[in-house]
Every structure is written in C-alpha cells, then in structure tokens.
Structure 1
Amino acid sequence: MDQTMGDDESELPQDFDALKSAILTRRQTLPKRLRQVAVYALDNPDDVAFGTAASIAASADVQPSTLVRFAQHFGFEGFSSLQQLFRARLRDRTPAYDERLKALSADGESADENGAILTGFVAAAHRSLDALSQSVDPADFERGVDILARAETIYLIAKRRSYPIGSYMAYAFGKLKVKAQLVGTAAGIDDDMLALAGRGDAAFAVSFSPYAPESAHQARTLAARRIPVVSLTDSAFSPLAESSKVWFEIAEADHAGFRSLSASMAFAMALTVAVAERRRRLHEAIAAQ
C-alpha cells in the first residue's frame, strides 16, 4: 500500500500547476499504477475534469480505487478533491477561447461534410494555439534559446510525425545562417552523424506519443556524452524529458482522432528565429571586444 506524503512533501497542491509540479518531482518514485494515473491525468486534464471516477479509471486502465490512492498519495482526502484542481484549471481559461469554439461549431453545423472537416481542424488548431501561450514558461524558453544559440552545430532529431518540424527548422536555420544538421538520412547513418557531435554542440529533439524509440535513444546517447539536449514533446512522462536540459510540453488538440502540428510548428519557428537573433547578438558582442 502506498505511503502518504512525508513531512517534507506535506504541502497540499493548491492549483493544477502545483499538482503537476508535485507529480513531476516524484515521477521516478511513483508505484506503477499511480504512475499510470499520473501519465493519463497530465496528458488528458480536460477528461479528468469532466469525467467520472469510473470513466477516468477505465481510460487510464486502472481500478477506480487506484484514483483514490493517487489522490491520497498527494495529500488529498479523495479523488473528488483532487479533481477540483482540474476543474478550476478550466474555469481559469480566457472566455474568448470558449466563444471562439462555439462560433466554429455553429459554422460547422451548416456546412457540407468537407467544410465541416475543415472547420473541425481549424477549431483544433485554435485550441492548440490558445494552449501554447499558457504552456511555455518564458524563463525556460530563454534557457532553451541560450543553449542552442551558443552551440557550434545544432543537431535536429525528429522522426515520424515530428519529422516536418525538424525538416522545416533545418531549412529555416540554413536561411538564417545557423549551422544545423537534420539527423535522418536515407543512408541510415544517423548514429555515425551523431558521433561527430562535440561538447560545443547541442541538440533539439522532438517526439510525440507514441514516441519514436530512435529519437529517445539518440537523445539519451547525446545526454550521456554531456551534449545538452533541448526537446519538444507532449507529456511530462515523455522519454525525452529525462534526457533534456530544457524540455517543452505541447499537447496538440485533435479532430476526429487526427492531430495537426499547428502549435508545435509555431513554437519551433519562434525558437528558430529567437536562436538566430541571440546568435547575432552574441557575435556582435564578441566583435565589439
């Protein structure tokens, strides 16, 4: 049976961000089933806010009693008390978000089938972009920019669904005269390419669930060689998080089970341009000395 929080961890989380921080701090020591609940809760906060204990347990593939144990593990009397943090998170959202979605839904009702599909994806993109500004910590963004801006070469790791992000960043970095290397070749020499990375280099890795094992392996390999990794992923329990100096969590909204890259691409381009601008300033400062 799980122990309750110790004296050094007895402070009850007062909001969703505090709960998330507590989960991340203790993620390595959570028992298997509680970790399973944590992964589901952080990946699907809206579902946790609206769902019943039975439906949430079924989705997380655990017993309802496990939800109670999870809540008590973080100092709550029961699961309903913890669930209030998820509901408060929704109440704190800007009203414009709900109004925009209602307008899009109304438009979709009168459109033909293809128009409704377009409207659905536009609505999902809006949801993703609305969440983006709230999910990226400015201080972390500065740290990520600084790490990449100081690198001699930036290695871009992006496979499968994430590949378009790395590919476009490689293109943009080239135009901005920033030395970057996309790790992904038809010749299958990714590992040989990464072997060339040195202490003066850095990497930017991207992977979303279901995570590409190649990307996770490559990020771990670089981190083990003390080459800093900055990553973009969709969960605090992503394998990239453990290998990264700085990592960013962006969960794209879906439409009919399909997820686009609206927020992820916007973030990647902002990071790319910010890195190029920081490098320009660093070079100017060095030249002025």
Structure 2
Amino acid sequence: MKIDEKLTQALPNLPRKLAVAARYVLDNPERIAVDSMRSVAQACGVAAPTMQRLAQHMGYEGYDGFRQDFQKLLMGRGFGARVDALRSTFQSDSLAKLVSHMTEAAQNNIAEVAAHLEPKEVAAFVAAVRRSGRTYVIGAGSMYWAAGMIEATGRLAVPDLVSLPAGTVAASERISTISSSDTVLALGIAPYCAQTIDAMQYARRASASVYAITDRPSSPLAPYADGLFLAPTASPHYFPSAIAVQLVAEILLAACAAASGDASRHRLRQLDEIRRSSGAYLDE
C-alpha cells in the first residue's frame, strides 16, 4: 500500500494536530517531497515536531523516511510531476528560496554520508581494488557521467580502472571476461537501470568483488553488493541529486590513492607531467 493510501486510512483516528498535518500532506504531496520539514510545518500551521510525530505514528523512524516515500510516490508519476511540484512550490517566490532549498537538501545529503559512511567498508573496498587485476566501474543511464568521472580521475591512482562505454551492448556482455580476481563498482540511483543490476549479477556469478554506490538500503543494487555505500539523493530538483554520489566516489578514490603510497604519488606526478607536456591543460 502506498504512503498516501496508508495515511488516508489512518486519518479518522489521528489526534487533532496530527490530523491537521495529515490533511495538508494528503492535499499537497508534492510539497512533502520537495520541502523541508520546517517549511511544511509552517505551511500547515503546526510545529515542526508535529510532522516528526506524524511520521513516527505512520511507522517511520523519522521524517526523512516519510518524505522519501513521498518522493518515490512523485517519481512514480514521472518527472513531469516533479517539474509541476517545483512550479507550484516556487512559482510565487523568489529564486532565492529555490537556491536555499536546494542548498539545504545538498548539505543534508552530504551530512548523511558523513554520518553513515563506515571506514571499515571503505577499507574493504580499497583492499579489493588493490588485489584486483581490473576494477570495472558500471554506471548506466543518469550515472554514466559519474562512471566516466571516476575513470578519468581514478586512473591517476588506480591504473587498472575501467568504465564501460555507453552503447547498445549490455554491460554484462562488456564484462564477459571478468573473473574472481576483479572488482566491480556499480552506480545506481532511482530510476534504476536494469543493465547495471544485470552486470552486478553476472559479476557475482564470476565470484568478483562487487560494491555499489546507491541511494537507499532498499535499492535493487543492494542484494548483489558485497559492500554498499549510501548516497542520499533528496532534493527539490526534478531529478534526484547526484551530489552525494560524487562525494562518495571521491572518498573512495582518495582512500585508494592514500593506500597506494609512493607508487601512487609517482604515478600521479608522471601522468600530470604527461598531460601538461601534451598541452592538455591551459596555462593558468
């Protein structure tokens, strides 16, 4: 049952203040998906803790999970619905409010990464990469650019890093020679790409080490990953934010570089000299 249906069923038996908040939520689901808890509380005339209590009454640990389900609901209606939500939320306000809300969402996503990223999981990924023959980065659809970024910057520290090019050939076919001595880093946020999950399944069958950067514990990438790095994507933007994805990727690459010691530093200097001498960089 969807969150709006659950809330409709619960409404007749809610305490008065929770009922006020619930009616606003049901009438304005797009505001719940894109606005902060404080903004929603002000809009419906209750205190911010009331919104927290409503979320907990509905079985959520906190308001973030409650809001994420409304974001899923909105995503299910297509990106047009998210654009409409942006228009209804910010149409009568200045761009300053849009900037403020998007910045706040980005800061919250980054804070979530800082709070929940486990150093031991990062260390396990680094160890897998260091013992790998090859490390494949798989990012299809909206994550294709991120895979390219990881390869372009990551090869400075991890020479056997390979991202898979876009095209009509399935990702699992491109990694057909993968073996137990290799590692996969898969990237996927909602809406998830089937070929990314297919490639992860193929890699698992080959006994490769498989890690994933994804947006939530319930992600369809999670069952096929030996290690999971969560990158929240909540944002007023009509498409899920990728800021936390990039942060996690940069942390993993920095950890790989730090672990490789003098060899990595020598390779970084060597590649930097090659790029500069080739004219790849503009003089500052």
Q: What CA distance in whole angstroms lies between the structure 1 residues aligned with 2:165 and 2:156?
A: 20
Q: What CA distance in whole angstroms lies between the structure 2 residues aligned with 1:239 and 1:198?
A: 23
Give the aligned residue type for 1:149. Answer: R
Could you say what the CA RMSD is over the residues aligned between the two structures, in angstroms?
3.8
Q: What CA distance in whole angstroms lies between the structure 2 residues aligned with 1:121 and 1:240?
A: 26
TM-score normalized with structure 1 length: 0.58
Matches within 5 A, 1:30-109: 80=57, 83=60, 85-86=61-62
Give the aligned residue type for 2:62. Answer: F
Runs of 4+ that moved beyond 6 A: 50-59, 281-284
Question: Are the aligned partners of 2:257 and 2:264 in contact in 1 as well (CA < 8 Å)?
Answer: no
Aligned length: 200
Give the aligned residue type for 1:274. Answer: A
**Residue 144 in 1 paired to residue 125 in 2?**
yes
Q: What per-residue deviation string (whole Å, max 9, x for no partner) do you get for residues 240-260 of structure 1?
A: 111111112221221144332
Q: Percent identity?
A: 16
Question: Are the aligned partners of 2:157 and 2:264 in contact in 1 as well (CA < 8 Å)?
Answer: no
Q: How far does residue 121 in structure 1 lie from its aligned partner after superposition?
A: 2.2
Question: Are the aligned partners of 1:151 and 1:202 in contact in 2 as well (CA < 8 Å)?
Answer: yes
Q: Secondary structure of 2:190's partner?
A: coil
Q: Secondary structure of 2:229's partner?
A: strand
Q: Corresponding residue for 1:225?
A: 206
Question: Are the aligned partners of 1:173 and 1:179 in contact in 2 as well (CA < 8 Å)?
Answer: no
Q: What CA distance in whole angstroms lies between the structure 1 residues aligned with 2:184 and 2:63?
A: 37
Change (3 A) 1:204 1:51: farther
Q: Secondary structure of 2:220's partner?
A: coil
Q: Could you tell me which of 220, 241, 260 is aligned with 1:260? A: 241
Q: Secondary structure of 2:62's partner?
A: helix
Q: Corresponding residue for 1:198?
A: 179
Give the aligned residue type for 1:161. Answer: S
Q: What per-residue deviation string (whole Å, max 9, x for no partner) do you get for residues 139-188 of structure 1?
A: 22221222223212110011112222211100012223521111233363
Q: Could you tell me which of 164, 169, 172 is aligned with 2:153? A: 172
TM-score normalized with structure 2 length: 0.59
Q: Which runs of 5+ in 1 are unaligned?
A: 1-32, 41-49, 60-78, 90-108, 285-289
Q: Which runs of 5+ in 2 are unaligned?
A: 7-16, 30-55, 66-89, 266-284
Question: Are the aligned partners of 1:176 and 1:276 in contact in 2 as well (CA < 8 Å)?
Answer: yes
Matches within 5 A, 1:235-254: 235-254=216-235
Q: What CA distance in whole angstroms lies between the structure 1 residues aligned with 2:172 and 2:63?
A: 45
